[in-house]
Amino acid sequence: MKCEIIRDLLPLCLDGLASEESRREVGEHLASCPACREAAEGMKARIEAPLPPLCPDTIRPFRKLRRRMVLAVLAAILACTLAAGCAFFLCGVGWQVDSGSVSMEASVQNGILTLDFTLRDGGILHAVSRLESPGGAWSIEFRECLPFPLDDRGSNPERYSWGLHTRDQDGNPIPLPQSVVLRFRDKSEVLSIPDLLLEAQD
């Protein structure tokens, strides 16, 4: 058998994939041919040689890329959180206004005392009202905020109306708190509700 054919069969014989007859023929040829025997020993040495240790960077080539992606995602989340927080504060919570920036008109109609507040500079007036304690004074805190594209504050966002029922459905007087506290950045004003009713009825 020619040396070229033997060298083609050598890998199959070394891997144990060649047939019994082919292995016998290759063995007989190697016994008589030093060049093919040397080629066979070289192939066997390469197969049995230990593999070089793998470098961690070779095992995980995308490690640095993944770390950068994680940092980019975290930075994007942080930026979005900060932007949402700023938008919520500027367009939802706002900042307190001075007492001189807000005008007030009182009126009584159908047994309801209404206090209409207007922000003089035309911004958006945001107010939070709450009863300080049962049977106690009402408190109204005034804030200004920026417009938001999805705002639904009506056609007069610079106005805020606060109402208090003075009579029940049968027209009987309702016990009223004695005062309402207006809270501004520079001061708090205490208004007497009986006095407001008298002024509004005049």
One domain for residues 104 and 171: yes
**Reported pTM:** 0.56
One domain for residues 177 and 112: yes
| C-alpha separations of 163 from 86, 109, 191, 197 in Å | 31, 10, 14, 12
Structural domain span for residue 11: 3-48
One domain for residues 168 and 185: yes
Q: How many residues does the chain have?
A: 202
**Which tokens sit at 123?**
């911004």
- The pLDDT tens digits for 118-143 are 998 877 888 888 887 766 788 999 99
For residue 59, pLDDT beyond 70: no
Distance of CA 173 to the CA centre of its chain: 51
- Average pLDDT of the chain to the nearest whole number: 83
Q: How confident is the model at residue 80 (pLDDT cuts 50, 70, 90)?
A: very high
How many separate domains does the chain show? 3
One domain for residues 172 and 151: yes
One domain for residues 108 and 197: yes
One domain for residues 118 and 88: no
Q: Between the ranges 28-37, 39-48, 127-136, where is the mean pLDDT highest?
A: 28-37
One domain for residues 104 and 89: no
One domain for residues 179 and 157: yes
- 160 Cβ neighbours under 8 A, 6+ residues apart: 116, 117, 125, 126, 127, 142
Q: How confident is the model at residue 146 (pLDDT cuts 50, 70, 90)?
A: confident
* 99 in Cβ contact with 191 (< 8 Å): no
**Which tokens sit at 39?**
């080629």
One domain for residues 63 and 39: no
One domain for residues 119 and 186: yes
